[in-house]
Amino acid sequence: MHLPRQLGALHDLPDTPEAYDAVLAGVAEEALARLTPEGNLEHPDCVDDIGDTSLGITSLLALAWQRGKDPRLPEAVRRSLAFHLRERVYTEDNPGYPNLKVRDSGLPYARYTLAAGAHPIGDWPSTVWALLQAVNMLDLAEGLVEDGQRAELVEVAHGYWRWLTEATFFNPQEAGNQAIGCVVGGLMLARHLPPEQGAQVRSRAIAVYADEIRAHRVADRGALLPPEHGGAYDNNYGPISLSFLAQAHRISGEEIFAEDGDALARYVDARLTTGGFDNGGPRYSEQHSGFESVLGLRYFSARIGSDLGRYRGDTRWGRHAVKADGGVDGHFAWMLVWQVQDTTRWHRTPSTTPARHQLRAGTVSVAFDSRMTPSLVEAGGTYYLPAAVNRQHGFGPVTDGFLYCRPMGEVRVRDVRAEGLVAKLVTKPVVGRDHVLRHVRSLYVSDGTSLWTTVAVERLPGTPYLLAGLPYATDDGDRVRRTAEGRVTSAGELRLTHPEADGVDHFDARAERTQEEAAFALAADPRGYGNPDEGWRHLVSSTALEAEPAPGAPEDLHVFAVRYGRTGEFVPTFTHDGSALTVRTEAFTAVIGESAGDAHGEPELTVLAV
């Protein structure tokens, strides 16, 4: 089976002016055929996320007219804009809406669903989206919209802004992308208001960003990130936040948005595999955005000098939102407008600057979590997740059911590049159940096609093994296919084990269940509202690669050696002279020095190609 939403790399979609004109022409033909006598452009099957969708398609028609001057479009724009202003602007409180600070304000807002009192929790983001569609229309109104209609749209847009920032609690879903989108709406609105009023709205928007979003950033993997639905990052919504930061910087020129966007972009780059696969987040562990991410990934790929566009998006949404029948939906249409308007081009080559939480070479990559334990390993086109044993998750030595990967003290990292090899040494103090402090040294070396992992630790009691990952998915053209195996070899005996117990908290990679489905099933709250990452942490056991200690290791150490991405003979050797451990493989020789040998206690690493 294939994962449903991780499809092609977003930078593979043509983004020339001609390509965008063709997309807009297709939207225009469909919209003209759909336009009702009342001026409605909503998809007939649209129920949720509906409050902004007709206006979104209207803005796409306006952009198409500005670029191509199709004489059929001005009348459609005016009729559909009139429909939104007449039928989709609400000023009476939605019954049951829980986040109001001011009752009966009379300010306009948009509804998530049209029926009164039906699922009103989504009205806040729907109003953000309607504000963004409205300010895009104002930007594109010249030559299309008469003065009276334009003035009404300005008044509605200003009312949306006030409802979002005065009549309700700000960002009630704790969703960074929605909150930054609101700020963007204020920045764009300010340009269409009288100077004094516009300056006030602009100042307020920047203050809201600083006080309500930036001040509440969440730390993960060494970065401060806008919180997303209560977590630090979500692989669906995080790149959308990046797009909003890009637009905020484009519109305002304020360096704060560029700085925070750079930080988020470097974080995305570090956690993203070479093949563009990623998973995890507080809302959707495997769902991926499409066109909504393009602006941010493209804009900041150029700023940080890395190929962020390798991100595997849902290319069914590669241009705009669509319904199940493939028909265009106006949801999030402003992102396509901004993509077309932005002239930034993709940066398509990887950054060569070492990143603490990433090792990357050729088709091999390792993403590390905040504890410098691999969160995702890619080699040979296969993706490995942290395995689970006895409710503990990660990569590392295991003895008597205890996994040695959670540091008790400072984690130190040394990066080395030499003779076509990329290497990272991670040393961390770890306390076992026997309360003995041990130093786990993990060496990762890649030549761009294979990954060698060597883990050394002071001799462990019992019969230890290395928990070496959960083979989960593999590249299959533009798709990602579920798997339960990979090309892996070990110096010691290698086992691929599967849970003996049944139940959702025992993940068997051979079953037709995705990580996302299992994570939501284990989450405390319903799908779409629960945190799948928290749910996944309840996993008791999983399919796992288990590697026995390497033969011939020094008597005072347990050493484990695993090679990913290549089969065949693998017979590394190890020597330990008391101050350094030397590892010899068919591809390299590495010398790992004792931390005490450095004046600052930093680990020493030398790598030479064979």
Per-residue pLDDT reduced to its tens digit, 187-221: 999 999 999 999 999 999 999 999 999 999 999 99
pTM equals 0.97
Judged against a pLDDT cut of 90, whether residue 595 lies above it is answered with no
Judged against a pLDDT cut of 80, whether residue 597 lies above it is answered with no
Mean pLDDT of the chain: 96
Q: Look-up: residue for tokens 């009348």? A: 75
Q: What integer pLDDT is reported at residue 42 of this predicted model?
A: 98
pLDDT tier for residue 226 given thresholds of 50, 70 and 90: very high
pLDDT tier for residue 120 given thresholds of 50, 70 and 90: confident
Q: Alpha carbon of 74 to those of 26, 138, 177: distances in Å?
A: 16, 14, 32
Q: What integer pLDDT is reported at residue 65 of this predicted model?
A: 98
pLDDT > 70: what percent of the chain? 99
The residue that leads in pLDDT, 180 or 528, is: 180
Q: What integer pLDDT is reported at residue 507 of this predicted model?
A: 98
Taking alpha carbons only, the member of 89, 72, 184, 191 closest to residue 138 is 191
Q: Sign of dihedral through CA atoms 193, 194, 200, 202?
A: positive
| Weakest mean pLDDT among 1-5, 66-70, 188-192 | 1-5
Per-residue pLDDT reduced to its tens digit, 91-118: 999 999 999 999 999 999 999 999 999 8
pLDDT > 90: what percent of the chain? 94
Per-residue pLDDT reduced to its tens digit, 304-347: 999 999 999 999 999 999 999 999 999 999 999 999 999 999 99
Residue 210 per-residue DSSP state: I
pLDDT tier for residue 602 given thresholds of 50, 70 and 90: confident
Q: Alpha carbon of 392 to those of 281, 351, 386, 397, 536: distances in Å?
A: 19, 33, 10, 12, 11
pLDDT tier for residue 528 given thresholds of 50, 70 and 90: confident
Judged against a pLDDT cut of 90, whether residue 570 lies above it is answered with yes
Judged against a pLDDT cut of 90, whether residue 175 lies above it is answered with yes
Judged against a pLDDT cut of 70, whether residue 402 lies above it is answered with yes
Q: What integer pLDDT is reported at residue 599 of this predicted model?
A: 75
pLDDT tier for residue 598 given thresholds of 50, 70 and 90: low
Q: What value does the mean pLDDT take over residues 442-449?
A: 98
Instruction: Give the burial string for 354-381 (b: 16+ CB within 10 Å, else e).
Output: ebebbbbbbbbbbbbbeebbbbbbbbbb
Q: Look-up: residue for tokens 């590049």? A: 417
Per-residue pLDDT reduced to its tens digit, 465-483: 999 999 999 999 889 999 9
Per-residue pLDDT reduced to its tens digit, 537-569: 999 999 999 999 999 999 999 999 999 999 999
Helices (H) and strands (E) in the chain, counts: 13, 27
Q: Are the C-beta atoms of 507 and 499 separated by less than 8 Å?
A: yes
Q: Are the C-beta atoms of 587 and 450 separated by less than 8 Å?
A: yes
